[in-house]
Amino acid sequence: MPNNKPILLLSGGGNQQSLWTELARDYTLAFLYPQAAQLAREMGCVEVISLDEMAHTNDVVEEVANSSAKLTSQIVTRLPDVLQTFKSIYADAGPAALDGQLNNWWAGYCLHHIQAALTRLEAMNQLTKQPIPIAGCVTHEDVAPDTRSLVSWAKAQGIPTIHLPHAACHLLPGSGTDIHRETRTDFIAASGLYMQNWYVGNGFDRKRIEIVGAPQWDGLYGEQLPGRTEARDVLHRDPNRLVLCYAATWGQTTSIRGEADREIDDGLAEMFKVAKDLDADLIIKIHPNDAQPADQYYAQALQLAKLNGLVTRWHTHYILRAADVVIAQGPSNLCVEAAILGTPSCYIPTEGFDFANDWSLPFHGADLHESVTRALASRGDPVWQDFIGYYNAGHPDGNASERALNYIRSIAQVKEPV
């Protein structure tokens, strides 16, 4: 261990990145994501721990192998109980794979996940063997298994946990169960009033939520951003043509809401039709979380549609600056980012999700052509400023990182022994 600064556990999500250099002044940073640890080192943070590196010691590997075998054997032994649980819930209407076929795959499926979980837990446990204390845990989400295990482990050790959500969730109240409504942390650093209200609406104590803004958007307020001309030049877009940006979504599959792949296919087809009607170029922005085959899927679709344009997963600032309007597949946080950069947006509605604001923007009618036309005419409308402010309390100063740092420091403190 290189120093005596207390450890701060970090998931390593992209929305924490602007905090790392400052946090490294006070803490030894221990990252769940190995690529985040690597990036923090490249950014000049010296005291950095990668949990992934701690997971490959002989002790950890042996403990994981033994414990995962023991836990899985418990599942095998109790498989009739698992089957009975499924039967009591689904009666005879459940998926066939959960009924007569459960013996064929459930234990193996669990073993796979248990091994991964124990590797993380044992790596974190190695931290407790170090002579410096753990002051806190900051995560960008806590529903996926890796981040949930980070938070669950920290809570089991009595370490304060803070959720700095990487994005606002636009799931509507009353639209059914959803794992995104669950959070396990002690505190939330919310991006804006919307996010605070959303978590309170889902049962979280308002007093444990601090509105700090969205640190990942602070960079949108800098002076280093490309202008429209430069962005179009870089992306090889004609300065005089209409440019539409279609912001694609991704299938999270933790619920069966909506029409899944069919909805995405239909939305894209409608988008192509509008682009042709308006004789526009089309930039397809792939969601960063979408699987790799999406690149080929969208590139082929654009080619088949015989439209001018391009497909990319990255270069968000250039795309948003180059576009005349953004069209999102569902209510997307990219609409807020676009608005910060002065680009209007509209979106294709989807089941169970919507922006919660009462004002008129962004447009989302049944007729996409009309939505695009209205969005184009709304450039500069002051309502966009209200829209941004509701989702990002760091607007217009771009000071969310500073506010988030203060909040984290106020909570992640080492308690002196009584």
Partner 1 sequence: MDAVKALAEQKNWEAAHQWFQAIPLMHRGVDLGDMMTYDVLRVLGRLTQADLQQKETADAEQQADPAA
With both helix axes pointing from N to C terminus, report the angle between 102-127 and 79-90 in degrees, rounded to the nearest 10: 110
With CB under 8 A as the contact rule, the residue among 61, 260, 269, 377 that binds partner 1 is 260
Residue 301 is a binding residue for partner 1 (CB under 8 A): no
With CB under 8 A as the contact rule, the residue among 46, 59, 65, 94 that binds partner 1 is 94
**Smallest distance from the beta carbon of 161 to partner 1, in angstroms?**
13
H or E element in which residue 136 lies: strand 134-139
**158: Cα within 13 Å, side-chain hemisphere:** 4
Whole-angstrom Cα distance, residue 393 to residue 233? 32
Beta bridge partners of 134: 7
Residue 110 is a binding residue for partner 1 (CB under 8 A): yes
Residue 103 is a binding residue for partner 1 (CB under 8 A): no
Residue 114 is a binding residue for partner 1 (CB under 8 A): yes
**Smallest distance from the beta carbon of 106 to partner 1, in angstroms?**
9
**Smallest distance from the beta carbon of 90 to partner 1, in angstroms?**
5
β-pairing, 134-139 vs 7-10, is parallel
Residue 255 is a binding residue for partner 1 (CB under 8 A): yes
Write 289-295 long-range contacts (CB < 8 A, 24+): 289/250, 290/248, 290/249, 290/250, 291/250, 294/248, 294/250
End-to-end CA distance of the chain: 26
| Contact pattern from residue 332 through residue 351 relative to partner 1, giving x for each residue in contact according to CB under 8 A and a dash for the rest | -------------------x
177/240 with CB nearer partner 1: 177
Contacts of 188 (CB under 8 A, 6+ apart): 162, 163, 164, 165, 195, 196, 199, 204, 208, 209, 210
| Six-digit token string for 306 | 């015989």
350/392 with CB nearer partner 1: 350
**Smallest distance from the beta carbon of 347 to partner 1, in angstroms?**
19
With CB under 8 A as the contact rule, the residue among 82, 225, 234, 305 that binds partner 1 is 82
Which segment (15-23, 80-88, 227-235, 405-413) binds partner 1 by CB under 8 A? 80-88
Whole-angstrom Cα distance, residue 158 to residue 8? 13
| Six-digit token string for 362 | 């962004």
Residue 359 is a binding residue for partner 1 (CB under 8 A): no
Q: Which of residues 125-184 bind partner 1 (CB under 8 A)?
A: 125, 143-145, 148-149, 152-153, 156-157, 175-177, 179, 182
Q: Is the peptide bond before 396 cis (omega within 30 degrees of 0)?
A: yes
- Contacts with partner 1 by CB under 8 A lie at 67, 71, 74-75, 78, 81-82, 84-86, 89-90, 93-98, 109-110, 113-114, 117-118, 121-122, 124-125, 143-145, 148-149, 152-153, 156-157, 175-177, 179, 182, 253-257, 260, 351-352
